[in-house]
Amino acid sequence: MGHTRKRGAPSKHRSMLMSIKQDFSSEAVPDFRNLGIIARVLLAVNAFAFAVAIVATPTWGGALDRFLRAAALLEPMLLATLVVLYLLAPLLARLAYWQGAGAVLAIALAVCGAVQFVAIPADGEAPSLLRNAALGAATVAALLAYLRLLNRAYSPALSEARLQALQSRIRPHFLFNSLNAVLSLVRRDPQRAERALEDLAELFRVLMQDSRSFVRLADEIALLERYAAIEQLRLGERLAIAWELDAAPLDALLPPMVLQPLLENAVYHGVEPGTGVGQVVVHIERRGARVLARIENPYFEEHARRAGNRMAQENIRERLQLFFDAEARLTTRIAGGRYLVEVEMPYRPEKA
Amino acid sequence: MTPLRVFIADDEAPARERLRELLADIAAELPTEVAGEAQNGIEAIERLPTSRAQVLLLDIQMPGMGGLEVARHLAGLSIGPAVVFVTAHDRHAVAAFELNALDYLMKPVRAERLATALRKAVAAGPPARQQLAHAARQPREYLSVVERNRIVLVPVREIVFLRAELKYVTLRTRGAEHLIEEPLVALETEFAERFVRVHRNCLVARAAVRGFERSADDGEEPHWNVVLDGLGERLPVSRRQWAAVRALVQDA
C-alpha cells in the first residue's frame, strides 16, 4: 500500500534521506548509546543463541541447558562489547558507514576474544577460537544489516507523519477565532493588530516548514510565546501562563512543533471551557542528559469526556519516536484537578 | 424605524467588540442597538429575558453552557428572541452540528452577511424547540423552568427523579420541586445515560437509587419501591420495569 506510493516519488525520497543524514547521521553505524538499539541487540543475540540451542539438541530441557551453558560465556561477551561500543559511540559516529561497520566488527571480535581468554582457564576445555570468531563475525554482520534495514524502513515514515501532522496540528477553530480577534483590533489598536498578524505569520511559517530537521529549543520557546500572545489577545485575563524556563537548555535540539500543540491543547481543554482564570504552567528544564518539558492546565472532566481528542498527542508521540526512537517519552496524568503532560527526551546540544 | 434590539453572547471580548463594530457599520441599512451582552451561556440566560432583545447573536462554543443549550432554554420564554448562531467552526463542523436548518454565521463575520442573517432571523421568529433539540448533539446539562420573566436553571445532575403528572412533569431535586412542560418520553431519550424508568410515569436518577423495599400497604397488590438517596419518598416500581431496574442494582 504505502510502498507503491513511495516508489512513485523517488526524488523526494532521496532528498529526505539526505536531510535525515544531516541530523541523525543515519548513514553512520547505529548509535550504541540509543536504548532502542541496545535493547534490540540484546534481544536479537539471545534469541539467536536460543534458536541455535533448540536446533542443536533434540529435547527442550536439553536446549535450555545448552543455552544456559552457552550464556555463561555469551552474556559477558555481549555486555562487554556493548559497554565498549557505548564508550566509543561518539568516535564511531564520525566514521563513514563501512569504516564504522568494520570498526564495530573489529571491536566485537577483540572484546569477545579477550573475554574468552580471561574466562576460560588455560587448562580448561577451550572451544576453537577460530570457530567462535567466525560465529561472532556472522552475528555482528547480521545485526548490523538488520539495524540498517530497520533504520531505512523507518525513515519514509517521516514524510507520512509529516503529512498527517500538517493536517492536525492547528485547529481551524484557533485560526478563525484568532483572525476574528485581530479584526476587532484593526480599528481600535492598529499597532497591536499588526503585532498579532506578525505572530500569526510566524506561527504558520513554522507550521508549513520542513518538519524533518531539528530545531533549537530557544526557537520552539519563541514559537510558544508567539502562540501565547495570540491566545492572550483572544482570551484576555482568562489565560494566565506561568513560564518556568530558567533551567531550560536553550541549545537543545528537538523536533519542531512538539511543544506548541501541547500548549494549544492546554488552552483548548484547560482554559476555554472555564469561565474563570485558567492557570497554565510551562516548565522546561535539563536534568543531566535529558530534557524535560511539562505543561499543565486545569482539568475539566466533563469537557475531556466530550472532546476526547488525543490526535495531537498521538502525532507528537509518533514524531518523537521517529526522531529519538525509544529514548523519548510523552506521558500524561491527572493530579489534584490539574492535567499534566510531560515530554522527556535526550539532551542533544546544537554543535557549535 | 425603531432600531432592532440585539443581544450579543460570546466568551471572547474581541469577538463581542467586533460584532458591535459591524452592527455600527450596517446601521444605515439596518439600525440596531445593543440591548445587552453576556460572556458565557449562564450569563446570557440571566440577562436576556429582561433585556427586551429581539434578536440574539449567540456564540456556539462558550464555557459553562454552549450556545445550543442556551437557545433551548430561551425557547421556553413566551416572547423569545430570534437567534443567529455564530461559530468559528468550518463548514464541515457546521454540517455535523446540523445547524443548517438554523441561522448561523461563521467567524470572522462579514458585515453584509450579518445584515442578511439579522433580517432573516427576525422574519423567521424564534427557533422551534424541536429544531434546536435536533441540532444539539449532547444532552443538556440543565433543565429550565420559566417563572414570569426569569429562567430558573436546574442542573440535571441534581435531579433525583422526574414524574409525569397530568399535563406536567414534576422535577424533584433534594431541595426543591419544579413543574416542567416536556414529555417524559423525550426526557427519557435525551438522558438515557443518567435516568432509568421505574414506572410508566417515572424516571429515577441511576445514581440516586439506594435500594429497594417491598411495599407493605394493605389492600394494594404488593410491589417493590425504590429507596432513594437523600429523599424519604418511596417510588413504586412497576412489574414491567422490575427486571430492568433490579439488574441496575446488581450491576452496581
CATH of residue B160: 2.40.50.1020
Q: Which residues of A are less than 8 Å from B93 in CB distance? A: 172
Q: Between chains, do A177 and B89 touch, taking CB under 8 Å as contact? A: no
Between CA A63 and CA A50 the distance in angstroms is 8
Handedness of CA A177, A163, A258, A301 (dihedral sign): positive
How many residue pairs from chains A and B have C-beta atoms closer than 8 A? Answer: 61
The reply to whether B81 and B152 lie within a common domain is: no
Q: Which residues of B are less than 8 Å from A180 in CB distance? A: 12, 14-15, 18, 88, 107-109
Given this model, what pLDDT does residue A8 score? 38
Number of domains comprising chain B: 2
The reply to whether B127 and B158 lie within a common domain is: no
Q: Between chains, do A180 and B14 touch, taking CB under 8 Å as contact? A: yes
Give the pairing type, strands B55-59 and B82-87. Answer: parallel
Q: What is the pTM of this model?
A: 0.72
Given this model, what pLDDT does residue A283 score? 98
The reply to whether B110 and B159 lie within a common domain is: no
Q: Which residues of A are less than 8 Å from B88 in CB distance? A: 172-173, 176-177, 180
Identify which of A179, A184, A275 has the shortest CB distance to residue B21.
Answer: A184
CATH architecture group of domain A166-346: 2-Layer Sandwich (3.30)
The reply to whether B127 and B64 lie within a common domain is: yes
The reply to whether B127 and B147 lie within a common domain is: no
Given this model, what pLDDT does residue B241 score? 87
The reply to whether B112 and B23 lie within a common domain is: yes
The reply to whether B187 and B234 lie within a common domain is: yes
Give the pairing type, strands A290-298 and A338-346. Answer: antiparallel
**Percent helix / strand / coil, chain B, rounded to 5:** 35, 30, 35
Given this model, what pLDDT does residue A266 score? 94
The reply to whether B114 and B148 lie within a common domain is: no
Given this model, what pLDDT does residue A122 score? 58
The residue of chain A with its CA nearest to that of B42 is A275
Please name the residues in contact with B17: beta carbons below 8 A apart, sequence gap of 6 or more: A184, A188
The reply to whether B71 and B35 lie within a common domain is: yes
Question: Is residue B236 exposed (0-12), middle (13-18) or buried (19+ Cβ within 10 Å)?
Answer: middle
The residue of chain B with its CA nearest to that of A305 is B138
Please give the C-alpha separations between residue A195 and each of A200, A201, A206, A261, B186, in angstroms, as whole numbers.
9, 10, 17, 21, 51
Between CA A161 and CA A175 the distance in angstroms is 22
The reply to whether B36 and B126 lie within a common domain is: yes
CA distance A186 to chain B (A): 10
For A134, the enclosing helix (H) or strand (E) is helix A129-154
Given this model, what pLDDT does residue A18 score? 36
Identify which of A176, A187, A275 has the shortest CB distance to residue B63.
Answer: A275
Q: Between chains, do A176 and B88 touch, taking CB under 8 Å as contact? A: yes
Q: Which residues of A are less than 8 Å from B89 in CB distance? A: 172-173, 176
Q: Domain limits of chain A? A: 27-154, 166-346
CA distance A243 to chain B (A): 23
Q: CATH code at B21? A: 3.40.50.2300
C-beta separation of B200 from B193 below 8 A: no
The reply to whether B176 and B209 lie within a common domain is: yes
Question: Is residue B48 exposed (0-12), middle (13-18) or buried (19+ Cβ within 10 Å)?
Answer: buried
Question: How many other C-beta atoms lie within 10 A of the C-beta of residue A193?
Answer: 18
Angle at B125 between CA B119 and CA B129, to 5 degrees: 135
Between CA A52 and CA A57 the distance in angstroms is 9
The domain in which residue B32 lies consists of 4-135
pLDDT tens, residue order, chain A (352 aa): 334 343 333 344 333 333 443 444 446 788 888 888 889 889 998 898 888 888 888 888 888 888 888 888 888 888 999 999 999 888 888 888 888 888 888 988 888 888 888 877 655 566 677 787 888 888 888 888 888 887 776 666 665 655 555 444 667 778 888 999 999 999 999 999 999 999 999 988 888 776 667 889 999 999 999 999 999 999 999 999 999 999 999 999 998 888 998 999 999 999 999 999 999 999 999 999 999 999 999 998 877 665 555 677 888 888 888 888 889 999 999 999 999 999 999 999 987 6
The reply to whether B151 and B106 lie within a common domain is: no
pLDDT means over runs of 10, chain B (252 residues): 93 95 96 96 95 94 91 90 88 59 85 94 88 84 90 95 92 93 92 92 92 76 85 88 78 56
